[in-house]
Amino acid sequence: MELHLSNMRLNRLFSLLPLLTAVATSSAQVSTPQTDLLYGHFETHIDYTLSPGNPNAGWQFYVSYNKNDDFNDRTQIVRLNPATTRIVATPPTQGTISAAISELGPVGQPIWVLPQTNVIGAPYLGTRAVFDAGIFKASFMGFYVDDPLGSITLALHSVTGTGPAAGGHFGLYTSDFAGPLILMNSADGIDANDQIETLTPDAHSHFFWSFTKPGNYAVTFRGHGQLLTGLGGASTQGFGTFNFSVPFSSRLQNTATLRLGAGSEWHVLLEDATNAVAYESRQGFLEAGTASTSTVQSTFPGATRQMSLTLSALGSAVANIVGQTPALAATGVPAGLLQSDAVTVRLIGVHGPGQFALLNGTGTALLMNSADGLSAADSVTVSRSANLSALAAFTADGLYRVTLQLSATTSGGQSVTSQPFTLSFGSNRTAAFTYTQWRQSFEAAHGLSSGALSSASADLDQDGLRNGHEFLLFWHGCNPAQADLGLNPVPQFNGGFLGLDFLRDTYKDALNEGSFQINPMLSTNLSTWSSQSPRNPGRPLETYETGAEKGNALGRILLRRLRIPVTGTVDKAFGRFQAVMP
Amino acid sequence: MKNSLRFLFIALLSATSAQAASTWTTGHGDIGVHYDAGELHLHMHLHSGAVVGGSALGVDTEFEPGDIISAVTGVAQLSRPSNPSLNPTGVAAGSPIWILPITANPALPFLGWGTEELDSGDWTGNLTFSLVNVISPSGSGYFSVYTPDGFGGLDFNMSTFDGGITGADIATQAAGTHNHRFVTFSETGLWEVQMKVSGTHALDGFKESGVESFFFQVTPEPSKALFSGIGLGAVLFRRRRPAQS
């Protein structure tokens, strides 16, 4: 028999030594930068080291990954602080509850399941226990016996966050050949049965992790075990919390509240009160899917679609804020800051295949109208004392960019004006608009012949960004019929990292290697480029695409950052995008 | 026909190896892929701690596929559930079936599929493991490989029952990854599963390995030695109490 010893292998005896040293000197949690994990192989990781006199101090919980494929090699583990690590349920994890998993929630309702097997574009999340033989008794069927190996138990302790607050549940399960074998499920309460009973030294296994509503989930596990009789026999436990996020749809369907904000930072939030989520204006899509009423058509001739909008100067009270700091979102226009607590909203731009108008709530009067040109008359004023009910209407199907500017007079008498805010509307279009719908809309908006933009790999406006590239960067304002290379994101350097921030639209690139894909790249010399993709996921503390979100929740339009740790300074840096298109 | 094939297999083993193949009984191992001198190769990559020929490996070790027989003991045996999703196994509901699991059972080989020796940046698209031929002990047994989708469904990657062996009997995964899938057998005895792997190298173009034979010994009774205790790296669990209704 021929034996091949592969490289990267370390004798396990040697591998134990550095571990003991490392853990003994770093019993405090590691500090790692805020990181959002969309895909790649990671673990919910439990360390236990003997802690004489205080057995409960021996527990540590991490999100971890291994730098090689040998999970018996403890020297290659990289530990991330679970408090600053968020595991995201990406589009490939979304499905529907079937009868086979009806314990988890109502059949037919959506569910997000991180897979037990390795799937492109989804987190491949396992559970790993790192401790030495000769510490714990073995537990099985609820009994403890002295055993040369020993084992610990991982029990579900609590599930909190905005997802559970909205009725969402957490489940953890495996597959017993023919169907799911559910080990933890918060849908029927949490008790002693919600557990992975036996994890022996160096255990590593994968499970399905399920969530039944969008939002955040803080899942707290209790690790516990009983020390060997010779070590005192004490029962010991430790707690670790892992953070998961199920992104909201980024869709505002036929109704939305525009939350206007002033103060330390002008902002406009798009609030979906029904789902308790508000999006920063460039991370939500306003869908006017309702056929225009005859009243709206008589006020705004040619109107075909409409949606309800409420304009408010009051802060948002919803629990989930995407793209803005929750404290700012909750404040809105601070009372007393502006005269009359009022903000004027002026229409300064409309781009789309037809005309846009804002009507009063009954549809009997025009408040803004692009059909007769834009002027200061295309304005409304909103104060803290009264919300404004309105209707947005459009004259042709397609995509619209509606640009607004906020202005006010401070209580001290000074005129102040915001930067422009562009809202993205779909008239009879959803956030999942196709390339064909996108190019038809821009062809119509620019009077181009039908099909002028049909090739995704062509570059009609010759600005160096191909049409498909402009489609993928829609949320940056890219326009395939107008040279706008300047809208391409540029790298930033701070805090020891070189970063390239961009808006990732997970409708256009669902991370499952569909027909359109986009991946960021960074370089400091234009000859070597660092990049990653769902297929080439990289590692969080090396070149890695992570989140750059300001909010406490996520949507399908994600603010992402390609991040590279850098020592010293960076003279210059270059960012670009690798776009895959049909 | 089946007898002559079996004879051929024994003859090949004795011709190419001074020793008989060794039996892998427990621990983690992968059907592995490496790329060497412009060629793709399949091998068995058994991780440290895996028990081969009665001894635990001290380090990760790679074997020629034909040098390992994976022991599919009676621990893997169950009566096929009636769930019609399992029909592609070729085993009737209620009949015995042997299934290697996707989570570690210390009494069985924990068989996975590994492309971790390939650099993800070197390969465009997935690596494809293709089923070429299966020689069952009786000549009329069925072999399959499947993946649960988490929503209650099963995705069959390979099935000799469902339409025989065609180009659709494949399991794919990205370079640089690791995966687990259920592997099923319909009867006891020595099985020979022939596979190849292919992929497109970014610089070198399309590559396909030679066909390799993987052997599985399916037995009805658990091996007594495996019940001496729970193993290193094991994860065991019981079904939760059914929800109150």
Enter the ipTM. 0.81
Distance between A75 CA and the closest CA of chain B, angstroms: 14
Which residue, A481, A337, A479, is CA-closest to A408? A337
Chain B residues touching A185 at Cβ < 8 A: 240, 243
The pLDDT-based confidence of A460 (bands split at 50, 70, 90) is very high
Would you call A72 and B120 a contact, using CB atoms and an 8 Å cutoff? no
pLDDT of A504 strictly over 60: yes
Given this model, what pLDDT does residue A175 score?
A: 87
Shortest Cα–Cα distance, A279 to chain B (Å): 29
Which residue on chain A is closest to B19 by alpha carbon?
A1
Query: Which residue bears the tokens 């070590």?
Result: A231
Question: How far apart are the C-alpha atoms of A147 and A136, rounded to whole Å?
Answer: 8
Contact A316, A329 (CB under 8 A): yes
Choose from B235, B238, B239 for mutation: most chain A CBs within 10 A: B235
Range of the domain at B14: 2-222
Q: State the burial class of residue A516 (Cβ atoms within 10 Å of its Cβ: 0-12, 13-18, 19+).
A: buried
Tell me which chain B residues have a C-beta less than 8 angstroms from the C-beta of A100: 151-153
**Chain B interface test: which of A66, A127, A175, A197 (most B C-beta within 10 Å):** A175
Contact A118 B177 (CB under 8 A): yes
DSSP state at residue A84: G
* Among B229, B231, B240, beta carbon nearest to A193: B240
Partner residue opposite A198 with nearest CB, options B83, B149, B237: B237
Q: Which residues on B lie below 8 Å from A118 (Cβ)?
A: 173-174, 177-179
CATH entry, A489-580, from 3.30.70, 1.10.287, 2.60.40, 2.20.28: 2.60.40
The domain total for chain B is 1
- Residue A445 phi/psi, 5-degree rounding, is -65, -30
- pLDDT value at residue A94: 98
Segment among A148-157, A321-330, A526-535, B217-226 with least mean pLDDT? B217-226
Looking at the complex, does the CB of residue B244 fall below 8 Å from at least one CB of chain A? Answer: yes
Contact A2 B63 (CB under 8 A): yes
Q: How far is CA A558 from the centre of its chain?
A: 5
User: Strand ranges (DSSP E) for B16-173?
Assistant: 22-36, 39-46, 51-52, 55-56, 61-63, 68-72, 77-79, 96-100, 109-114, 123-135, 143-148, 154-159, 170-173
pLDDT at B231: 58
Which residues in B lie closer than 8 A to residue A127 (C-beta atoms)?
A: 235
Q: Does residue B103 sit at the A interface (CB-CB below 8 Å)?
A: yes
When the pLDDT of each residue in chain A is averaged and rounded to a whole number, the result is 92
Cα angle for residues A236, A86, A35 (degrees, 5° grid): 115
User: Of A164 and A3, which is predicted with more confidence?
Assistant: A164
Whether A19 has a pLDDT exceeding 60, the answer reads no
pLDDT number for residue A391: 98
Chain A partners within 8 Å of B47 (Cβ)? 70-72
Q: Which residues of B touch A141 (CB under 8 A)?
A: 238
Q: How far is B7 from chain A (nearest CA, A)?
A: 20
Identify which of B81, B88, B59, B173 has the alpha carbon closest to the alpha carbon of residue A178: B81
Q: Is residue B240 part of a domain?
A: no
Instruction: Please determine, for residue A6, whether its predicted confidence score (pLDDT) is greater than 80.
Output: no
Interface residue A54 vs chain B (CB under 8 A): no
Residues of B numbered 35-74 whose beta carbons fall under 8 angstroms of chain A's beta carbons: which are they? 43, 45, 47-49, 58-64, 67
Q: Which residue of B has its CA nearest to A198?
A: B236
Closest B-chain CA to A531:
B121
Interchain pair B103, A10: CB under 8 A: no
Could you tell me the CA-to-CA distances from A481 to A427, A442, A445, A446 in Å, in that order? 20, 7, 9, 7
A267: nearest Cα among A222, A332, A217: A332
- Assess if residue B210 is contained within a domain: yes
Q: Select the residue from A14, A72, A152, A513 to test the B interface by mutation, using most B Cβ atoms within 10 A.
A: A72
Nearest to A2 among B67, B102, B237 (CB): B67
Interface membership of A525 toward B (CB under 8 Å): no
What tens digit of pLDDT does each residue of A248-272 get? 999 999 999 999 999 989 999 999 9
- At residue B225, the pLDDT reads 41
**Is B228 part of the contact surface with chain A (CB cutoff 8 Å)?**
no
Q: Is-contact A519 A578, C-beta < 8 A?
A: yes
| Order of strands across the sheet that contains A208-211 | A94-96, A110-114, A208-211, A170-175, A180-185
pLDDT at A314 over 60: yes
| Residue A25: per-residue pLDDT | 30
Cβ contacts of A68 on chain B, cutoff 8 Å: 116
Pick the closest to residue A492 from A532, A520, A528, A464 (CA basis): A520
Give a yes or no: residue B243 inside a domain: no
- Return d(Cα A323, Cα A551) in angstroms, integer: 5
pLDDT at B106: 83
d(CA A265, CA A333): 10
For chain A, state the CA radius of gyration. 27
> How open is the CA angle A154-A159-A163, to the nearest 5 degrees?
140
A200 to B235: CB separation less than 8 angstroms, yes or no: yes
Q: Is residue B75 helix, strand or coil?
A: helix
Q: Spell B179-200 as b/e; 16+ CB within 10 A means b.
A: bbbbbbbbbbebbbbbbbbbbe
CA–CA min distance B135, chain A (Å): 23
Domain boundaries, chain A: 12-246, 251-427, 435-486, 489-580
pLDDT in tens, A92-103: 999 999 999 999
| Closest to A446 measured CA to CA, from A487, A405, A486, A399 | A399
Low-confidence ranges of chain B (pLDDT < 50): 1-19, 223-229, 242-245
Average pLDDT over residues A158-187: 94
Q: Count how many pairs of residues, chain A against chain B, have C-beta atoms within 8 Å.
A: 199
Residue B231 falls inside a structural domain: no
Q: Rounded to two decimals, what is the model's pTM? A: 0.89
Residue numbers in B near A151 (CB within 8 A): 230, 234, 236
- What is the model's pLDDT at position A71? 80
- Give me the pLDDT at residue B3, please: 36
The residue-averaged pLDDT of A198-205 equals 91
Q: How confident is the model at residue A570 (pLDDT cuts 50, 70, 90)?
A: confident
